[in-house]
Chains A and B, each alone.
Chain A
Amino acid sequence: AQRVTQPEKLLSVFKGAPVELKCNYSYSGSPELFWYVQYSRQRLQLLLRHISRESIKGFTADLNKGETSFHLKKPFAQEEDSAMYYCALSPSNAGGTSYGKLTFGQGTILTVHP
């Protein structure tokens, strides 16, 4: 069975402070990990995926297979980063790319104060 845990339901920081949203997973195979974001009154959208190794809107996330973690980080938070963030996992094939369903964590509400 696959499981994603986001230990913090709420996270508050001030503008310009570093932010880290935690995500831990359990899965017997080799997963692909994603961060999805939902801004107020908008639909769920992909922020980044580990296989792309990109920095999107200043956010990065590194897959740590030893610790089974995929924490989301940003060195200087902005007010527009305030949103709900979901970590998600998908099974991957031998090439390391995903297929099939997503398993989501419970989400973390990030609030960035001015």
Chain B
Amino acid sequence: DTGVSQNPRHKITKRGQNVTFRCDPISEHNRLYWYRQTLGQGPEFLTYFQNEAQLEKSRLLSDRFSAERPKGSFSTLEIQRTEQGDSAMYLCASSLGQTLKNIQYFGAGTRLSVL
């Protein structure tokens, strides 16, 4: 499977715990995006990287959230001191980042449930 890969697919945690999600983009894609989707809503942008540089962060990304993309390959999204409101589907997408080919390809997502 050469698509965007996200792990784990599901994560159940207790309030106050830290969680980390991983995204492996399509290999030649230099842009990587994180989105969050809650029930009944469309995906909402969180942050994106071009190679290893984090170029934009949404105000949805509180200081409990941190994302990294070391070496411009895979990315991790960490949520510290989780809250019940963090329960959502976290989606990762990647793209070539070239103007004519900036189509974003999505992973299957990580579903987070905070108890």
Q: Find B106's partner among A4, A43, A93 (CB 8 Å cutoff).
A: A43
A104–B103 touching, CB < 8 Å: no
Closest B residue by C-beta to A51: B100
Q: How far is the CB of A9 from chain B (nearest CB, A)?
A: 8
Contacts of B55 in A (CB 8 A): 100
How many residues belonging to A are interface residues under a CB distance threshold of 8 Å? 23
A107–B42 touching, CB < 8 Å: yes
Asked if A102 meets B107 with Cβ closer than 8 Å, knowing A44-B43, A44-B91, A95-B99, the reply is no
Whether, in the assembled complex, B45 has its beta carbon less than 8 Å from a beta carbon of chain A, the answer is: yes
A sample of 21 inter-chain contacts (CB < 8 A) reads A4-B42, A9-B40, A43-B3, A43-B107, A45-B105, A46-B103, A46-B104, A86-B43, A97-B99, A98-B102, A99-B97, A99-B102, A100-B48, A100-B56, A101-B45, A101-B56, A101-B58, A102-B43, A102-B45, A106-B42, A107-B41
Chain B residues at the A interface, C-beta cutoff of 8 Å? 3, 33, 35, 40-45, 48, 55-56, 58, 91, 93, 97, 99-100, 102-109
